[in-house]
């Protein structure tokens, strides 16, 4: 057992003496406040020290040594301050172990993965540039800060009386704290009574809410329908406006102009009712006079006749007799007598 313990202790001592630190470097734009011997930390815990700082063209190279640990290839470096009164330290970021390639020894972290804190001079320079931009007059002759102050003045221009009134009300409220506390106590007491009532009748309140919920859905649907109706009516406002304001005056004028005519027709219809009432009797009388039934009066109408010259009276009458028997009479060898209506109709080409 003693031999085994000695062997384990020897192996541990050999492993402790055989571990090697990792040497890496990083490039920064500047290294103000960083010195050889400054601590190298991960999450604020020291894991190494800065060995050497030297310029390298437009950048600074910082060599450091960290303990025997695996660093990812994406490890970055940041120069930071522990506090305002202490020197700066070099913090390794994104240095947690993870699967993938690691940062090999003697590898330098490029400036794309390093950052330096803003110096006081740079901060003052940025502030000076901001002040210059805010106070520099633009093409319209007004500076941005001046425009902002003028706009703020316009916004608060009419708030003076309102703020004064609110402050007076607040002062009056604070001048009588007992009254205020009494009113506040009454409000709390009323609230307590209301909550007590709700607690005692909670089942009824819950039932009321559940019953009222479907009604809200119905109200929502009714409001949707009302919205559609209002939209449709809004479309009809224009035509109705034109109808009542543009067309109705002309229509009313036309109706007014027809009133005399309607009045005359009504008066004439009333006065002619007696005349119209006699028409059926007159028609019956005429029908009785011209009917051929026994006891009726018959009237025979003989049309007037005309003497018409013709080269051959006999041939002319023969032809006319074929169309209308007993209508032609020979007056002489060169003239015939025919009814005048027949003569007229024959002239215009009609059939008698």
Indicate the pTM of the whole model.
Answer: 0.35
What does the buried/exposed string (b/e) look like for 104-133 if buried means 16 or more CB atoms within 10 Å of the residue's CB? eeebbbebebbebeeeeeeeeeeeeeeeee
Tokens at residue 237, please? 């406002």
Whole-number pLDDT of residue 5: 45
Q: How confident is the model at residue 59 (pLDDT cuts 50, 70, 90)?
A: very high
d(CA 15, CA 18): 5
The residue with greater pLDDT, 179 or 47, is 47
- Any alpha helices (H) in the chain, and if so which ranges? 2-18, 120-135, 144-155, 160-175, 177-200, 202-242, 248-271, 273-290, 313-323, 340-347
pLDDT-derived band at 187 (thresholds 50, 70, 90) equals confident
Categorize the per-residue pLDDT at 11 as very low, low, confident or very high, splitting at 50, 70 and 90.
very low
**Per-residue pLDDT at 304:** 78
Answer yes or no: is pLDDT of 39 > 80: yes
Rounded Cα–Cα distance for residues 55 and 59 (Å): 6
**Average pLDDT estimate for 202-227:** 77
**Residue 313: is it exposed, middle or buried by C-beta count within 10 angstroms (0-12/13-18/19+)?**
buried
Instruction: Give which of 135, 9, 111, 119 is closest to 60, Cα–Cα.
Output: 111
- Percent of the chain predicted with pLDDT > 90: 17
Give the pLDDT confidence of 173-184 residue by residue, as tens digits.
767 777 777 777
Distance CA 265, CA 49 (A): 124
Given a cut of 90, is residue 323 above it in pLDDT?
no
Residues ≥6 apart with Cβ < 8 Å to 180: 173, 174
Question: Per-residue pLDDT for 310 more than 90?
Answer: no
Measured at the CA of 267, the angle between CA 261 and CA 270, to 5 degrees, comes to 140
Provide the pLDDT confidence category of residue 220 given band limits of 50, 70 and 90: confident
Mean pLDDT for 262-288 is 67
Q: What is the mean predicted confidence (pLDDT) over 96-114?
A: 90
What are the structure tokens assigned to 207, written together? Answer: 């039932």
pLDDT value of position 16 = 42
SS3 readout for 162-195: HHHHHHHHHHHHHHCHHHHHHHHHHHHHHHHHHH
pLDDT of 26 above 90: yes
pLDDT at 7 over 70: no
Report the greatest alpha carbon distance in the chain.
Answer: 188
Residue 81 is predicted with a pLDDT of 78
Stronger pLDDT, 221 or 125, i.e. the higher one: 221
Q: Which residues pair with 115 in a beta bridge?
A: 78
Question: Which pLDDT score, from 0 to 100, does residue 36 have?
Answer: 93
Q: Which residues contact 141 (CB under 8 A, 6 or more apart)?
A: none
* Token couple for 86: 């202490």
C-beta separation of 55 from 30 below 8 A: no
* pLDDT value, residue 301: 60
Please write the tens of the pLDDT for every residue from 66-100: 988 889 999 999 998 766 666 789 999 999 888 98
DSSP string, 266-280: HHHHHHTHHHHHHHH
Range of weakest confidence among 47-51, 256-260, 294-298: 294-298
pLDDT of 119 over the 80 cut: no
**Two structure tokens written together for 70:** 């695996």
pLDDT beyond 60 at 1: no
């Amino acid at each position: 057992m003693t031999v085994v313990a000695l062997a384990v202790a020897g192996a541990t001592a050999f492993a402790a003496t055989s571990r090697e630190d990792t040497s890496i470097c990083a490039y920064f734009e500047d290294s103000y406040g960083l010195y050889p011997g400054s601590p190298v930390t991960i999450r604020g815990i020291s894991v190494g020290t800065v060995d050497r700082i030297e310029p390298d063209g437009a950048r600074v190279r910082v060599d450091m040594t960290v303990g025997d640990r695996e660093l990812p290839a994406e490890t970055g470096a940041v120069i930071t301050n522990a506090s305002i009164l202490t020197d700066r330290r070099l913090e390794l970021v994104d240095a947690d172990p993870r699967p993938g390639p690691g940062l090999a020894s003697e590898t330098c972290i490029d400036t794309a993965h390093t950052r330096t804190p803003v110096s006081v001079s740079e901060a003052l320079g940025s502030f000076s540039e901001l002040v210059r931009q805010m106070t520099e007059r633009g093409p319209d002759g007004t500076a941005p800060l001046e425009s902002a102050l003028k706009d703020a003045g316009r916004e608060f221009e009419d708030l003076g009386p309102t703020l004064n009134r609110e402050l007076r009300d607040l002062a009056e409220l604070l001048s009588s704290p007992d009254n205020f506390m009494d009113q506040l106590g009454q409000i709390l007491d009323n609230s307590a009574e209301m909550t007590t009532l709700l607690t005692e009748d909670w089942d009824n309140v819950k039932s009321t809410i559940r019953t009222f919920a479907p009604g809200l859905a119905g109200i929502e649907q009714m409001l949707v329908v009302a919205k559609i109706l209002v939209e449709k009516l809004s479309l009809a406002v224009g035509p109705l406006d034109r109808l009542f304001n543009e067309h109705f005056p002309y229509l009313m004028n036309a109706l007014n102009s027809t009133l005399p005519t309607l009045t005359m027709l009504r008066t004439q219809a009333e006065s002619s009712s007696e005349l119209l009432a006699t028409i059926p009797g007159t028609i019956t009388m005429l029908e009785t006079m011209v009917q051929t039934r026994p006891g009726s009066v018959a009237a025979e109408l003989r049309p007037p006749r005309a003497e018409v010259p013709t080269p051959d009276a006999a041939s002319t009458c023969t032809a006319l007799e074929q169309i209308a028997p007993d209508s032609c009479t020979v007056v002489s060898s060169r003239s015939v007598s025919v009814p005048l209506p027949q003569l007229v109709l024959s002239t215009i080409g009609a059939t008698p």
